Amino acid sequence: MAETNELPDAPAVAREIFSGDAWAKAQAYAELLAGPGVVRGLLGPREVPRIWDRHLLNCAVVAEAVPEGVRLVDIGSGAGLPGIVLAIIRPDITVTLLEPLLRRTVFLEECVEALKLDNAEVLRGRAEEVAGTRLFDVACARAVAPLDRLLLWSMPLLVEGGRLLAVKGERAAEELEAAGDALRKTGARRAELVTVGRGKVDPPATLVRVFAGRTGPAGERGGGRRGPGGQDKRRRKRRR
């Protein structure tokens, strides 16, 4: 029997989470993911029945840990998760969708335009390359890299006291335990587990929240690969 990979109706809780103007945008984004997102290989066809639960809602609850009015970078945004969802429900923040792969940044640009997300921008590049060029209050990442590597990538992007929100699920505690060296090396101040989405998603989502320490003299906090003049080696190579 053929599998049906149709976009299901949104669950009732989605209507509460995506309130006001966000509702139409969330529906349009779900359709973009299920249509062009799948056709272009950004999302597997088997994910379509789970777009609301596993993707939109699970990303939306991350907003509970995002302070008001911040500049947020979504590292390894892929098809826009969680960055586009956060831009939809939080017009008070600005969102930078950071993604190295062209195919994905083209899709992200199209989503930003189609959904009229005035508070979102797409930045093509790797987190290590952006270090030293931009600073953010919050960095988030879902399904991008183990926590120790995420720390090396994200801490140099954060202002002092800024925070990394790593969406980690079941293995969060284990990853935090294993990231001791990276926490010290990057001068992180405090790291803790945070549960979000209680009563909204099942199971609730687990984040690792890490607060950034003081920025170094060159705006660097470990993890950057810098050559003379503070420029990133890979960036210099690509420019040639």
Ligand X SMILES: C[S@@+](CC[C@H](N)C(=O)[O-])C[C@H]1O[C@@H](n2cnc3c(N)ncnc32)[C@H](O)[C@@H]1O
Residue from the set 11, 36, 100, 204 that interacts with ligand X by CB under 6 A:
100
Task: Work out the end-to-end distance of the chain between its first and last CA atoms, rounded to an integer number of angstroms.
Answer: 53
- Residue placing its CB nearer to ligand X in the complex, 76 or 197: 76
Residue from the set 40, 50, 71, 126 that interacts with ligand X by CB under 6 A:
126
Report, in Å, the least distance between residue 82 CB and ligand X: 7
- Residue placing its CB nearer to ligand X in the complex, 76 or 213: 76
Sign, Cα dihedral of 180, 182, 187, 190? negative
CB neighbour class for 166 (10 Å; exposed up to 12, middle 13-18, buried from 19)? buried
Report, in Å, the least distance between residue 156 CB and ligand X: 12
CA pair distance 143, 169, nearest whole angstrom: 10
- 101 near ligand X (CB under 6 A): yes
- 168 near ligand X (CB under 6 A): no
By CB under 6 A, the residues from 62 to 81 that bind ligand X are 75-79, 81
The interface region with ligand X, picked from 25-33, 62-70, 124-132, 176-184 by CB under 6 A, is 124-132
- 127 near ligand X (CB under 6 A): yes
Judge whether 81 is annotated as a binding position: yes
By CB under 6 A, the residues from 9 to 68 that bind ligand X are none
Judge whether 127 is annotated as a binding position: yes
Judge whether 142 is annotated as a binding position: yes
Compute how many residues bind ligand X; rule: CB under 6 A.
18
Question: Residue 103: which of 75, 121, 78 has the closest Cα?
Answer: 78
> Is 176 in contact with 101 (CB distance < 8 Å)?
no
**Binding region for S-adenosyl-L-methionine:** 76, 81, 127-128, 142
Residues that bind ligand X (CB under 6 A): 75-79, 81, 98-101, 104, 126-128, 142-144, 153
